Structures are given as C-alpha cells and as structure tokens.
Structure 1
Amino acid sequence: MDETTQKKSLLKKIIAIILGFGPGIFAIGYTIGTGSVTSMIVAGSKFNMQLLWVLFLSCLFSGVLMFAYGNYGLITGETALYGFKKHLKYGKALAILIIVGITFGQWNSLMGILGISSNIIFEILALNFEGLHDYEYQIVLTIAIVIIITFYLLMLVGKYTFFEKILVIFVTLMGFSFLLSLFFVQPLPVDVIKGFVPSIPDVPGGKMLVAAFVGTTMAAATFLSRPLFVKGKGWTIKNLGQQKRDSITAAILIFIISGTIMAVSAGALFYEGKEVTHVLDMANTLEPVAGKWAVTIFFFGALSAGLSSIFPCLLIAPLLLADYQSGELDTNSKQFRIVTFVACLVALIGPAFGANPIEVQILSQVFNVFVLPAVILGIILIVNNKKVMKGYKTSLGVNVGLFTALFFSLVISYNGIVALTEYF
C-alpha cells in the first residue's frame, strides 16, 4: 500500500469515527452553542480560570444525567415526559411545568444565538467592506432572517440522521477551530489549577455568570431529549454499554471544548485587562497576538457553535410536546411545522429590536437553571421505581451522582434568583 493510499485510508477512518458518534452529538449541539461560547469568553476575560470548577461539576453531572435518562429510555422503551405523566403521582403537572420552563429558556437562548450568529457574519463582512457599518442594523436583521428561514426549510425536510450529520459537521468545525485558537494564546498553568478550587467572584455579575455556566452546561433539554434521540438512533436495550460510553464521551468533549474557549479568552484578554461586552470584542480575543487570520478562525468556531445550536433549539418544543403526547416525534406533522415556525418568529425578536445579543444570551442561560431541579427530581423518582425499570436496579454510584446533582441545581437556582434580583 503506497503512502497516498494509506493517507486516504486514515482519513476515511477518522471521518467514519466522527460520523459514527451517537446521540451525544446532540448533547454537544445543545450545550456548546453561542450561549456557552459567550459565557466562557466573558468569564475568561473577567475572571481568568476562576470558574473552571463550575464547568467541571456541570459536565460531571451532565454525564450522569445523560446516562440515567438514556438508560431509562432503552430499558423501558418510553420517553421522559411521557414516563413522568404515566408513572408519577403528580407527573402530569411536573411534565407541563418542565415543557413551559424549558421552552421559555430555549426560545430565549434562540434569540441570543441568532443575534450573535448574525453579528458574527456581519463582522466578518465588515472586516473586508468597512462601509457596511453605516447599515449595520439592516444587514444584521437581513442575515438573521436568511439564517432562520434556511434552518426552518431544512427542518421541514430533515430526519434524525439528517440533523445528526449536520450537527456532526458544525460541532467538529467548532472543536477544531477553538483548539487551533488555543495554540495562539494560553492561560498560565497555575491559574488552570486554581480554577478547580470552588469560589464565586465577589463582583457585580459574578453570580450571574455562575448561574449562566450551569444553565448552558447542565441544559435540562439535553437530558429530556436523550431517550428520544437514542430511540431515533435505533438503539435498544442491547446498546446499554454503547449508551454509557456515548454519555461519558459527550460529557468529556463538552468540558474540553468549553474549557478551551475559556482558556483562549483568559490568555488573550484577562492578562491585558480587557472585557467582552459586544460581539466584536469576542473577535478581538485573538487579534492582538495572531492578527486577522486568527480572528477568522475564532469567528468560524463561534459561528459553528451558533449554527449547531439552532437545530436543537428549534427542535426542543416539538420534541417535548411529542414526548408528552406519545413519545414519538413526527417531523412531517402540522404541529411540528407550526411550533417550529413560532420558534423562528421568537428568534427574530432580538435582532429586530437591535438588542445586545451578549446580554440576551447570558440572561437566557440564567433562566435555564430554574427548571433543572424538577428535571433531576423526575428522573430520580422514575429510575428508582423497579416496576417501571422492569427489575433493573440503578447503581449506588449513579444515585449518589443524581442526588448530588439535585443539591447542586438547587444551590445554583438560588444563586440565579439572587443574581437576577441584583441585575434588575
């Protein structure tokens, strides 16, 4: 076998591994969007690596919750909200509360995601055509409309495998872009180590960012949708081991990519005493040390993060409704088309009013934490019901993880309430 053939064979193997990634790709798509990118960049620029411990715990608990929800789906053949409604005493009320809470949070996130993605494309264009700044509002709004219409049309023709492949492309581009950015700037190793020591910055906005970190990394939508996605993948009870590996891999990748973004921001901005308040500031993360080429790489990663989040955010309300009704998602139904259309209109509110997408995004992540305790409590009750789980016993380790995650979510929810009262 000659060298060229070997290289082609290796490339094919790498592509096969990437495309073979399971439902965990949706977890990354939900989690590492512009919300996560924005939170990590703002935190890195303001507080260096001080909030790395929050990211680590969030990813750890996310892995446990993905595993628990995935196992429930494979063992029972049911989806989460449908199971809550069917098996829990107040399950119907709990399910409706979760649907409303998550939809509100995700649609708010969608506003920020679309706003930031549109602004990123505008800034890339403005780097080459300076005269565009006179028409910033009109161009950003037009870009937002084009993006959301394109994604809506893709939603109408797509199936699970189609969505999965598009997400794989965006997430892969995002990961490589941010890892490449890390070669240009790095934080001090001692600051990374200190970041694992729990502490909350005692400054305005510190509590807000802690809540935003958890809201974007421990995304309730990620866990609730897990049974639907493992079913969509065609997995059965025979795939329990594969489901476990997929959950662990997803959690590890979320931590690596998110931590990399924070590290890039800390290395480029914190030591220079610069903070991020607007979208262009995110581009400036790398410009001082690597020029416009690095800015383009970073923008490309941030844009990939945004686009990888639009699909999951548009999907979430139809997913939750389908989950509640029957446990099956029909992407050809009238309900699917109407709900996703409404989500598209909501997404345009931020760009239409010219709101600062950075602030919109961080606020939306804070709102996401309030439904988290209900989502964790529901799965604790249901996976410990032997009748529902068909005799399958949830291990002590998983239960310890779930109860610790519940306590963590309650603490962060309280922290989020305090942060919002201080903000408003």
Structure 2
Amino acid sequence: MKFKKWFEQLGPGTLVAAAFIGPGTVTVCTLAGVHFGMALLWALLLSTLATIALQEMTARLGILTQKGLAEVLRDTIQQPILKIMITFLILAAIVVGNASYEAGNISGGILGLETLLGVWIYDIGGIHFNMMSMVIGVIAFILLYIGNYKFLERALVGLVLLMSSSFVLAAILTKPNLFEIVKGAFLPKVPSGSLLTIVGLIGTTVVPYNLFLHASLVKEKWTSANELSIARKDTVISIGLGGLVSMSILIAAVAIPSNDITNAADLAESLTPVYGHFAKYFLGIGLFAAGITSAITAPLAAAYVANGCLGWKASLQSKRFRAVWIFILATGVLFAAIGFKPIEIIKFAQIANGILLPLIVGILLWIMNHKTLLGKYSNSKFKNAVGIVILIISIFLGVKSIIAVFGLL
C-alpha cells in the first residue's frame, strides 16, 4: 500500500525528469564517463540540486496562480516592447527549438530499439527511410492525442521507472568502485579538456523548457496551497531520480574498455563482451525509454508555451493545442526517418536557449518575490540565495553555449 500511495503521488516532476533525460543527456553522460571517469559526477550532482530548486519555484508558482509560466510572464511584464521581445525569445527557444531537437529525441529512441531488434531501414524512392521512427511517432501520437492528463502522467511515470531501473541496473552490473563514486560526486575537479563536457552535463539537466512545462503541468494535478508539500515531495523525488539515472549512465560508461564511443548504443555494444547481453538489453531499453519520453514531453512543452505566450487558454484536447504538438512531432518523425539534421535551426535554437535560460531564471526570481502575487509563499532568503547562485551559473552556461555555437571555444 505504501508503494501504491508513493506511486500515485508522483506526477509532474516525473514528466520533467522524463524531459531532461533524453538521448542528448545519455550521450553527454556516456562521453563524460568514457573520457573523464568518475571525475565529473559532481557536475551532475550540482545540476540536479539546481534543477530541484528551480523546478520547486515553478511548481509553487503554477499551483498558487493556476497559470503557466508563459501566462504569468505575459501578465506580470507591463512594458509592451519588453513583453514582445521576451515572448518572441520564448517562442523561438521552446517551439522552434523543440521542433529541431525532436528528431534527436526520436533518433535516440531508434538507437535503443535497434540495439534490441536490429535495423529496420527501407529504400523508398531512393530515400533511406527508418521505419522505427514511425513506431516511436505512433506511440507518442496516441499518448498525446488521448488528451487525458492522468493517463499521460501514468504512462510517462511507467516509462521513467523503466528507464531508471534499466540504467541503474546497467551501472550495478559494471561493479563500480564506490570510493571513486563518492570522490567524483563530492570533490569537484576539472580535468584538462573537460570544460565543454561540464557545460554539457549541466546544460542538459537545467533546461529552460522544463520550467514552462512544470508550471503548466502542476495546475492539471493540484489546485490549492495545501498541496504544495506534495508537489515539493514529487519534485525532489522525481528530479533526484533523474539525477541518479544520469549518474548511472556515466558510471556504466567508465567501465568501457575502449574510447571509441559516440553514443549509448555504442556503450551497450561495448559492455556486452565484458558484462554479458543483460548489459546490452538494459541499456537498449533505457535508451528507448529516454528517447520516447523526451519525444512526448518536447511537443507537449512547446504546445503549453505557445498556449501561454499567445493567450489561447486552450485545453489538452483543443485543436490549437494539438496542432502545435502534432507539428513538432511530425517534423521530428520525418527528420529522424530520413536522417536529416537541420543544423542551422539547431544552432539558432541553442543561441536562443543560451540567452533564455539566464533571462528566465532572473525573471523567475523576481516573480517569486512578489508578495502581492504569492503572499507568504514567496521566496525565503535562503531560496533567493540559491537562486542567485543558479543565475550566475546559468549566465556562464549561456555565454559558453553561444560561444561554442560560433566555434570560438
């Protein structure tokens, strides 16, 4: 009964964890483990704690105002030009960004399936077409089209638990050195050549669109200040579980005998000779679950953002809401199926996200201190101090990501 009650209380936070543990996170964590061993575990621990702090703020805001973050920004920012600029930046970073990243989410799910079932590529009119993208697209479409929040939540909670158990078991199979894990997590170290990897580890965990997604999701589940403690527990457990998954991927990657690794599918194949087929299957299932959960949450977040920015007041089942996520999902399925990578759009999205993260963290801190809006539930001094540290880190991350896009680093 205790497990059932605990399971039922999980919700929006798990969807946020599902969103940030996508194929990009899996790949960055894999490469961090391969090239730097346990030395960068601290970056994952730091980014997980930062994510918990930010997501708790957005969850509190969503429950108390019963509005999404984009809606709150529209209502709070009075200066017309500033409002237009921020709305454009949010739409560019989240809607355009998620459309360009969606192919990567689906491709990650495909890698997981191919690890388990082999390759399903067919030649149609001279174009190589990966049919597994259609499988993932159809599953994502059905879950989103049903338009029932509770059903979607249960499905994603199940997928996250599947993903979590898969990656954690894969890490356990490699019999890691516990002393090295503790040292890597609690003694920060920056090995030579690791700076961009650290930026990647933090950047794939502290994600701008999750702030918008979380604030919109909590109001689907909770409606009063009395439920804030449940929402806080959901956030801590779910994001903490997400951080554990990321660390497990890095730990499993440390065991690889070769440096010739580019993604988690390579990781699965490399672990097989040493740790048996179980390692391959655990990682394949985990990568599939990571891909499909992100393939669902990215279109969902884009639809919520468009809904809030454009003032639609639409529901999960409305035509406008569905039109946005169908566009994002269809674009991702098509690009993943033919192997097309919209590099310029992805670069544009990375720049927009690099600017958006510190901007949104700064505005969020400002809003969370609005006594007229939040009353006694506004930020404490401690939460503000934590928020300021995160803001400084997010500015550093944003600058580094923009510099990296222009090839200056």
Q: TM-score, normalised by structure 2?
A: 0.88
2:97/2:350 contact within 8 Å kept = yes
Post-superposition Cα deviations, 1:209-254, rounded to whole Å, max 9, x if no partner, equal 3332222201112122222111101331111222222222223212
Match of 1:110 among 98, 102, 105: 102
User: Where in structure 2 are there 5+ consecutive unaligned residues?
Assistant: none
What is the distance in 2 between the residues matched to 1:31 and 1:160? Answer: 19
Contact 1:73/1:79 (<8 A) preserved: yes
| Equivalent in the alignment of 1:229 | 217
| Matched AA of 2:143 | L
- Structure-1 residue corresponding to 2:239: 251
| Aligned mate of 2:24, from 35, 44, 52 | 35
Cα distance, 1:68 vs structure 2: 1.0
- Whichever residue aligns with residue 27 of structure 1, its letter is V
Compare 235-244 and 186-195 and name the one that shifted more: 186-195
* Cα RMSD after superposing both structures: 3.0
- Give, as a single letter, the amino acid of the residue that structure 2 aligns with 1:414: V
Q: Tell me if structure 2 keeps the 8 A contact 1:54–1:213.
A: yes
Are residues 65 and 213 of structure 1, via their aligned partners in 2, closer, same or farther at CA, if it must alter by over 3 Å? Answer: same
1:121 and 1:115 map into 2 onto residues whose CA distance is 10
1:111 and 1:346 in contact (8 A); partners too: yes
- Contact 2:31–2:263 at 8 Å: present in 1 too? no
For the Cα contact (< 8 Å) 2:156–2:293, is it kept in 1? Answer: yes
Q: Which runs of 5+ in 1 are unaligned?
A: 1-11
Please say if residues 318 and 329 of structure 1, whose CA atoms lie closer than 8 Å, have aligned partners that are also in contact: no
Cα-to-partner distance string for 1:61-105 (whole Å, 9 max, x where unaligned) = 111111111112222333211111111243443233122212233
TM-score (norm 1): 0.85
Native 8 Å contact 2:14 2:238 kept in 1 = yes
Tell me: CA distance 1:280–1:259, structure 2 relative to 1, closer, same or farther (3 Å). Answer: closer
> What is the rounded CA distance, in whole Å, between the counterparts of 1:34 and 1:395 in structure 2?
36
1:24-47 deviations in whole A, cap 9, x for unaligned? Answer: 111111111222212111211122
Contact conserved, 2:116 with 2:281, CA < 8 A, in 1? yes
Residues 99, 321 of structure 1: 8 Å contact kept: yes
> Structure 1 residues 27 and 362 mapped into 2: Cα distance closer, same or farther (>3 Å)?
farther
Q: Could you say if the C-alpha distance between residues 191 and 327 of structure 1 is closer, same or farther in structure 2, counting changes exceeding 3 Å?
A: farther
User: 3-state SS of the aligned residue for 1:387?
Assistant: helix
Matches within 5 A, 1:240-389: 240-266=228-254, 268-269=255-256, 272-278=257-263, 280-326=265-311, 328-354=313-339, 368-389=353-374
Aligned length: 402
When residues 346 and 215 of structure 1 are mapped into structure 2, their CA distance, relative to the original with a 3 A threshold, is: farther
Identity percentage over the alignment? 24
Q: Which residue is equivalent to 1:3? A: none
1:340 aligns to what SS in structure 2? helix
1:408 aligns with 2:393: yes
Task: Provide the rounded CA distance (Å) in 2 between the counterparts of 1:256 and 1:161.
Answer: 25
**Distance of 2:30 and 2:388 partners within structure 1:** 30
Please tell me whether residue 121 in structure 1 is matched to residue 113 in structure 2: yes
Instruction: Give the CA deviation at 1:392.
Output: 3.9
Match in the other structure for 1:202 = 192
